[in-house]
A and B are shown apart, each in its own frame.
Chain A
Amino acid sequence: MSQQGYVAAPPYSQAPPGMGGYQVGYAAGPAQPLYGHLGGAPHPFSAPAAGVMKPPGSTAAGMVPPPVSSQYNPNYQQNGSHQQSLFCTNTVSHGQPPHALPSSVASPGPPPTQQLTNQMSAMNLGNYGKHANNLACVCNKTFFLIFFTELQNKMLSLFTSFVVTMLISVMNIFNSSCLALPGQFGGMMPGPQAGMQGGFPGAMAGPPQKKLDPDAIPSTTQVIEDDKAKNGGQVYCTNIRGQVPPLVTTDFTVQDQGNASPRFIRCTTYTLPCTAELAKQCQVPLAAVVKPLANLPKNEAPLYAVNHGETGPIRCNRCKAYMCPYMQFIDGGRRYQCTFCNCVNEVPVFYFQHLDHMGRRVDFYERPELSLGSYEFVATLDYCKNNKPPNPPAFIFMIDVSYNNIKSGLVKLICDELKTLLEKLPREEGADCSAVKVGFVTYDKVLHFYNVKSALAQPQMMVVSDTTEMFVPLLDGFLVSYQDSKPVICNLLDQIPTMFADTAESETVFAPVIQAGVEAFKAAECSGKLFIFQSLMPTAEAPGKLKNRDDKKLVNTDKEKTLFQPQKGVYEQLCKDCVVQGCCVDLFLFPNQYLDLATMADVPSHTGGSVYKYNNFQMETDGEHFLADLRKSVQKHIGFDAIMRVRTSTGFRATDFFGAIHMNNTTDVEMAAVDCDKAVTVEFKHDDALSEESGALIQCALLYTNISGQRRLRVHNLSLNCSSQLSELYKSCETDSLINFFAKSAYRAILNQPLKNVREILVNQTAHMLACYRKNCASPSAASQLILPDAMKVFPVYMNSLMKTAPLVGSTELSTDDRAHQRLAVMAMGVEDTQLLLYPRLIPLHNMDVDSEVAPAPVRCSEERLTDSGLFLLENGHSMFLWIGQAASPDLIQGIFNLPSLSTLPDVDNPLSKKVRAIIRDLQNKRPNSMKLQIVRQKDKPEMLFRQLLVEDKGLHGGASYVDFLCYVHREIRQLLT
């Protein structure tokens, strides 16, 4: 594949008139205007390609690194570089000069395959090893010192490893209990350590004795800020195979030049190992996180729709891969070779085009399927159910009108909101009004369907009490266009709250409600989404009746998994029915107690739906929060009745899939619906050896019905590198994707295995991955050094955070429903969401520049970063806290709250308040879910909830602190290496 051609933007402006799919906006000539728009200077994007491949010049070769002075001990500074190497020496026990260590780094004789890495390590150490942190860590009776040496290289923006060297005392009794019983490490907290230090002053040889400085260990916020500084606001062109994209947290613009945007696909690594042995050796999971309908920012062009008319998309005869930029045209353009299966296919006559001198089709730039990584085909009838064009999808609102929901005012809230919300149903770009049909059902023990046909003077209610065999009592008038039936619908929505105002019904059904939705869609021959608002466990006599099976005694036993397993039977079949009909279920729960969420959420979590949960719902505090979720859920970009197929080039294949999906066979990912926030994580395994030369290709094709009822095929293509060098692999790893994969696989594993095993596997694999790097890629160093691949240097903090999440931490204090909820939510998450969930943003608000455009940079998620006089905002995508320090200045509080009460955030007309609210609003908009803003004061009881999210600290319900975890992992690595 030619790469030069991608420097310039494709001349789409020259598209012939026939190519209707091209927009003027995109056709505005070469890439230049695009960059200009972003305000930044054109990035020299021709350079990095080479840069990544080879370190320039030979200056580094053979250089001897200078001794590292342990006395040299400035404060650790993050200055945007990635070149860090930390040494930790326990001078007390070893009594060896620390400089002895780096010399071993420079020792010659690395095997050829590792040469590059070692060269770089050596070079880095040699030239820039000027900073070192010497830190001492005292831990209960065992004490050891960790020295961090930081090496920086500003000139070369390349890096290899993040090295933490730990010299562990001779009498180190670091044992596995340090994770299981984090209490032992309580001493690492600021308080008690002060006293401990005094006991060993003389023992410290050179460095001033300190506790382990958290600043010295790899910082997620720093990594994020560094990537922002490097890539923020830049244009990222997808013209290079195996290119590692900027982090999810960075704002950048993607220009599709042959590979799918990282918004659609992110991989755990962009360089696959050539052989299965290598893959097994490193244990780095090979996976891609696919978010097929991801939202694109406004400044990126939406996908082109290619219409090949009645013939439909052009596909390889053998493997059925779709026409894409990787197809090789041969024989003067008359034939093409499929790069996925190597089959040679005839080019259809209407599609024939001559090749230019480079063997590229002349119409290369005119056809998105030849030049872009992502595009859509207009599907023909062959791709439709029963060979009939699909009807536009429908939304059915199904409201539980039993006593609880009436009393809490929820029913009225929903009805009132729907009146405005229905005006904003999602619609096709440029369409006058939404094609989505709407329908309404209320229910308690029986179901009430409503006929809201536009011709009616008043709505008609049809009660179905036969819940054992659900059916839809009406066809015409149930699913209607809101625009047509507006008066009748408004009439209905006005009446529903009063109609049931006197209800005393305290039992509800649930499975029949979903069944009713499926039947409705079946009758209307469409797909769609159910919005179910339920407050109770379904206990009424009907299929899918549930009983309380919550048992805290099971926690931390082999049977704990049963708490997460849905009850079999009715719901299993219901999932299948839903998927077949393309019926997605969004479940809004308002429980006051246990409602067996694991079972109730079974259908949503297999149909591409979401579960929203509002414990002890109260109108005043949760109303707005719920409505925000509802609005997002309704207005989301969404596709229905979807089926996804991931094709790969020979040598490897997709073997496992994680997400809110249903699998009938091993290859087809069926989704009743997929929205812009839902991601499917796909794991790959080797079939055969891969070649470095041809690389590895992934084509992810999604067949779906769009919001206006058109059948579309969305194709995402991504090309990856292959290498027989593990160092290449580690270099192009992406921590955020890795942790997404680990989260999903661990959350699935807990259905079948005891939590303890799952946690062990996670730690072991973490250690194994790092040990393998250490063994094969890092330059030889003392065993006491913890050496992390640079791309994975913050991986431990995420992994530790993952293990502290509610589903994985066996604590009786957590509600079973909450745990099940989080488990299911994560299964459908994309990389952004898991990243944020596992490393929440802690934003200091007390000292920000109110005039600045941007929000203040987040700080690390640790209690130590809080200041008594401060004001912090903390969010993880699901909750949001405004933390007020004890000593926060009254001016500050007054400026924001304007009131003595601190329950809500009022509109106050001052720059600070405006800024704070703007930040919050901005975050709320960015996230897929709305977050309830909780205001906590330091030392107040609700602060517990807030502290749970400080993931670098020790977990409230168990789980190690970041530092402890790092130590533990290091020990494991050492064991593996010996």
Chain B
Amino acid sequence: MTTYQEFIQQNEDRDGVRFSWNLWPSSRLEATRLVVPVSCLFTPLKERPDLPPVQYEPVLCSRANCKAVLNPLCQVDFRAKVWACNFCFQRNPFPPSYAGISEVNQPAELMPQFSTIEYIVQRGPQTPLIFLYVVDTCLEEEDLQALKGSLQMSLSLLPPNALVGLITFGRMVQVHELSCEGIAKSYVFRGTKDLTSKQIQEMLGLMKPAATGPQGRPVAPQDAAASCRFLQPIHRVDMNLTDLLGELQRDPWPVPQGKRPLRSTGVALSVAVGLLEGTFPNTGARVMLFVGGPPTQGPGMVVGDELKIPIRSWHDIQKDNARHLKKATKFYEALGNRSAANGHSIDIYACALDQTGLLEMKCLSNLTGGHIVMGDSFNTSLFTQTFQGVFSKDHNGDFRMAFGGVLEIKTSRELKVCGAIGPCVSLNSKGPYVSENEMGIGGTNQWKMCSLTPSSTLGIYLEVVNQHNAPIPQGGRGAIQFVTQYQHSNTQKRIRVTTITRNWADAQSQIQHIESSFDQEAAAVLMARLGVFRAESEEGPDVLRWLDRQLIRLFMFHLRRSPFLQVFNNSPDESSYYRHHFTRQDLTQSLIMIQPILYSYSFHGPPEPVLLDSSSILPDRILLMDTFFQLVIYNGETIAQWQKAGYQEMPEYQNFKQLLKAPQDDANDILETRFPMPRYINTEHGGSQARFLLSKVNPSQTHNNLYAWGQESGAPILTDDVSLQVFMDHLKKLAVSSSA
């Protein structure tokens, strides 16, 4: 008998699923009492190099409102060549191609090890991937040069048949025509005018000519790719586009003293979405927005061009002082929804020292599954490497990205779907599986994810609907089927089907079993997602209160302090950025985000994880902290002095050199795999950057608890935040008092 630990790990590896509970309480009442809902983190496209896709269509249940896929849980009558659907119990005949099956000759989808299986299907024409660059030209010269370099580099990473497009913007928006010889052509839009999709297509000349042409001759049918001059196969326009990018100039319009450059991000995106909408609806496409500042004019404007008026802060938002916030958010939301409806995803690469309006624009990426990357400058490795990471390839040489994903969930009748939290939009598919109780994006059992990576993870929230007085027979099992249809990056259409099952348990008699099946990590992340989802839509303090009421668990101390819920010391953009990543990363990464990992390197022994506590900060230690977004190497006071003294250069102190190198090597390992690239900070005791570490650790010693002074047990943190000890004490008090 394997432990739950192993079972959970095994299930995650095979199916990409982590459940909060691995035994399910058998009635609604019991489930509610458990506080943490039956829910799971599901990674639809978890990399499974060991799983070869099969080259045929899945077999579907013939019941119109079921259509579940044949899976290992189905009962099969090999003689009658019929199978019973385990969700609706419909008996279905096998299709003629399955005539040869028998107990010894089973198709893959019936084998238990293929609880997750991938089908390659032939549906519709294969369309190449589309990459539409939307580039801000209101950048500093240095930034622009760096960005141009990155963009030119990215061209070489694209498959030759991929379609590329280029839109640049500043005060105006330019859509570049790519296939022209001798003269560089572009269509220009005013940056202040909101245009409808139809107007944009008309102005770009994409509308079909009137039915009766002036000459009356029929217009030759052309495929969309040939007719669209703005999106061209990379192999055809490589040179042109490289030159075009090379000649890209900073926005030439003068920026008067005391003004921000006029940046028409809103219109640029609107044009990009309109262009794709008109030419390639329902085809995998990435709009990649590169911005170096906030939108300052036209629809989607986040801040005016007067420098004396700063961009909104949390303070302004709370005071309802953010003039453009609502309007801009509404604009970008509408745009994001349009884009999502057409299956196009939008990435935002924002590099600036100040905010760039991610708060308003985040929905573009959140709704369409696009990336958000935030950095200080395009001229940093953070950006360049993250950007390269977008184009990383798997072992088959295919991009780690997929498009147009549609996830459908089918459940046994005792369960219903409450909702999902992650980079998806509802497809509003009402059906027997949908619960009235909404958690996250609910009211549907189908979601669309315009863009997916192997690590894209959704939190799925379920509800046990079985009534208390209708007991499930002993040994009954519940099942959930995840059907993910998507466009693979090699343009194949694929369907991945994951069917999982768990046992039902009576909470009254088997409470200890249920308890032991609890996955603390999964539950933490799932609850945190709920918290973040609420934080996005509700006022901050209410969410904290809700969380406190819901849970008394250790990690919640860190979650409470995390930037996902706390906005103090974070700009609205940063909050949006952190939340964006939190709601899409897989469990491991999410955990790191909630409770950063702290490793200690010293001469006293091998590297070891230490408590995220100020007591861990000792003079003779090197600390490596990973918060997902930041990677901090912190040299203790003594270490720092040694380093300054240059001991590591001396042959007799080789060991010190190695000690210094060890955390750096580990950091590099993380840097290589992490997307987006974390901010890499190498600091020391008393260094200005040490604040990254100090703000994260548990302030067990502060300037307030005087007894700690003078002891050799870590570093005091100058904060008024309560320490874990105080927090726990308080919790205990609350737990025993009846008023809690």
Instruction: Name A residues whose Cβ lies closer than 8 Å to a Cβ of B.
Output: 446, 449, 456-466, 469, 471, 473-477, 491-492, 495, 499, 504, 506
Nearest 6 CB-CB pairings of A with B: A473-B188, A465-B203, A476-B252, A460-B184, A463-B187, A461-B185
Contacts of A499 in B (CB 8 A): 182-183
Is the pair B215, A504 in contact by a Cβ cutoff of 8 Å?
yes
B245 to chain A, nearest CB (A): 13
A456, A457, A463, A469: the one contacting B186 at CB < 8 Å is A463
Interface residues of B in 173-220 (CB under 8 A from A): 174, 182-190, 193, 195, 202-205, 213-215
A130 to chain B, nearest CB (A): 77
A526 to chain B, nearest CB (A): 14
B202, B252, B253, B254: the one contacting A465 at CB < 8 Å is B202
B82 to chain A, nearest CB (A): 61
Q: Nearest A residue to B186 by beta-carbon distance?
A: A462
A244 to chain B, nearest CB (A): 56
B233-273: contact bitstring with A at CB < 8 Å (1 yes, 0 no)?
Answer: 00000000000000101001110000000000000000000
Is the pair A460, B190 in contact by a Cβ cutoff of 8 Å?
no
Contacts of B253 in A (CB 8 A): 475
Is the pair B214, A506 in contact by a Cβ cutoff of 8 Å?
yes
A495 to B180, CA, bound (A): 12
B185, B193, B215: the one contacting A469 at CB < 8 Å is B193
Known: A465-B203, A474-B172, A504-B214. 14 other contacts (CB 8 A): A459-B183, A460-B186, A461-B184, A462-B186, A463-B186, A463-B187, A464-B187, A465-B202, A465-B204, A466-B193, A471-B172, A474-B252, A492-B183, A506-B214
A669 to B248, CA, bound (A): 45
B403-441: contact bitstring with A at CB < 8 Å (1 yes, 0 no)?
Answer: 000000000000000000000000000000000000000
Interface residues of B in 63-110 (CB under 8 A from A): none
A456, A457, A458, A464: the one contacting B188 at CB < 8 Å is A464
A469 to B195, CA, bound (A): 12
A106 to B174, CA, bound (A): 88
Interface residues of B in 126-155 (CB under 8 A from A): none
Q: A474-B252, A504-B215 are in contact. Are A458 and B184 (CB under 8 A)?
A: yes
A492 to B182, CA, bound (A): 9
B152-182: contact bitstring with A at CB < 8 Å (1 yes, 0 no)?
Answer: 0000000000000000000010100000001
Is the pair A456, B247 in contact by a Cβ cutoff of 8 Å?
yes
Q: Nearest B residue to A498 by beta-carbon distance?
A: B182
Contacts of A495 in B (CB 8 A): 182-183
Is the pair B183, A466 in contact by a Cβ cutoff of 8 Å?
no
* CB within 8 Å: A-B pair count: 66
A967 to B674, CA, bound (A): 105
Interface residues of B in 485-508 (CB under 8 A from A): none
A721 to chain B, nearest CB (A): 56
B176 to chain A, nearest CB (A): 9
10 contacting pairs across A/B (C-beta < 8 A): A449-B188, A456-B247, A459-B184, A464-B188, A465-B205, A466-B190, A474-B172, A474-B252, A495-B182, A506-B214
Q: Nearest B residue to A445 by beta-carbon distance?
A: B205
Q: Nearest B residue to A506 by beta-carbon distance?
A: B214
B699 to chain A, nearest CB (A): 55
A466 to B188, CA, bound (A): 8
Is the pair A462, B183 in contact by a Cβ cutoff of 8 Å?
no
Contacts of B188 in A (CB 8 A): 449, 462-464, 473-474
Contacts of A464 in B (CB 8 A): 187-189
Is the pair A465, B190 in contact by a Cβ cutoff of 8 Å?
no
Contacts of A457 in B (CB 8 A): 247
Contacts of A474 in B (CB 8 A): 172, 188, 252
A510 to chain B, nearest CB (A): 18
B172, B183, B189, B205: the one contacting A460 at CB < 8 Å is B183
Is the pair A466, B189 in contact by a Cβ cutoff of 8 Å?
yes
Is the pair B182, A473 in contact by a Cβ cutoff of 8 Å?
no
A845 to B254, CA, bound (A): 63
Is the pair B187, A465 in contact by a Cβ cutoff of 8 Å?
yes
B192 to chain A, nearest CB (A): 9
Contacts of B195 in A (CB 8 A): 466
Contacts of A449 in B (CB 8 A): 188
A477 to B184, CA, bound (A): 14
Q: Nearest A residue to B193 by beta-carbon distance?
A: A469
A448 to chain B, nearest CB (A): 8
Contacts of B205 in A (CB 8 A): 446, 465
A469 to B213, CA, bound (A): 27
A692 to B149, CA, bound (A): 83
B183, B189, B202: the one contacting A458 at CB < 8 Å is B183
Contacts of A461 in B (CB 8 A): 183-186
A509 to chain B, nearest CB (A): 13
Contacts of A458 in B (CB 8 A): 182-184
Contacts of B203 in A (CB 8 A): 446, 465-466
A495 to B185, CA, bound (A): 12
A744 to B182, CA, bound (A): 50
Is the pair A463, B185 in contact by a Cβ cutoff of 8 Å?
yes
B36 to chain A, nearest CB (A): 55
A463 to B252, CA, bound (A): 17
Listed residue (B172, B188, B249) with the most chain A CB atoms within 10 angstroms of its CB: B188
A457 to B249, CA, bound (A): 14
B190 to chain A, nearest CB (A): 5
A712 to chain B, nearest CB (A): 28
Q: Nearest B residue to A462 by beta-carbon distance?
A: B188
A458 to B182, CA, bound (A): 7
Contacts of B172 in A (CB 8 A): 471, 473-474
Contacts of A471 in B (CB 8 A): 172, 190
Is the pair B184, A469 in contact by a Cβ cutoff of 8 Å?
no
A456, A459, A477, A504: the one contacting B252 at CB < 8 Å is A477
Contacts of A462 in B (CB 8 A): 174, 185-188
B382 to chain A, nearest CB (A): 32
Q: Nearest B residue to A478 by beta-carbon distance?
A: B252
Contacts of B187 in A (CB 8 A): 462-465
Contacts of B247 in A (CB 8 A): 456-457
Listed residue (A456, A462, A477, A506) with the most chain B CB atoms within 10 angstroms of its CB: A462
B435 to chain A, nearest CB (A): 48
A23 to chain B, nearest CB (A): 40
B322-365: contact bitstring with A at CB < 8 Å (1 yes, 0 no)?
Answer: 00000000000000000000000000000000000000000000
A178 to chain B, nearest CB (A): 54
A450 to chain B, nearest CB (A): 8
A880 to B187, CA, bound (A): 46
Q: Nearest B residue to A473 by beta-carbon distance?
A: B188
A458 to B240, CA, bound (A): 12
A27 to chain B, nearest CB (A): 46
Contacts of A506 in B (CB 8 A): 214
A491 to B181, CA, bound (A): 12
B135 to chain A, nearest CB (A): 16
Contacts of B182 in A (CB 8 A): 458, 491, 495, 499
A464 to B213, CA, bound (A): 23
A466 to B202, CA, bound (A): 10
B657 to chain A, nearest CB (A): 51
Q: Nearest A residue to B203 by beta-carbon distance?
A: A465
Q: Nearest B residue to A449 by beta-carbon distance?
A: B188
B652 to chain A, nearest CB (A): 59
A537 to chain B, nearest CB (A): 16
A105 to B214, CA, bound (A): 78
A473 to B202, CA, bound (A): 18
Contacts of B202 in A (CB 8 A): 465
A461 to B182, CA, bound (A): 10
A465 to B201, CA, bound (A): 10
B197 to chain A, nearest CB (A): 14
A457 to B246, CA, bound (A): 12
A375 to B185, CA, bound (A): 49
A440 to chain B, nearest CB (A): 12
Q: Nearest B residue to A504 by beta-carbon distance?
A: B214
A504 to B205, CA, bound (A): 14
Contacts of B186 in A (CB 8 A): 460-463
A410 to B501, CA, bound (A): 78
A238 to B604, CA, bound (A): 111
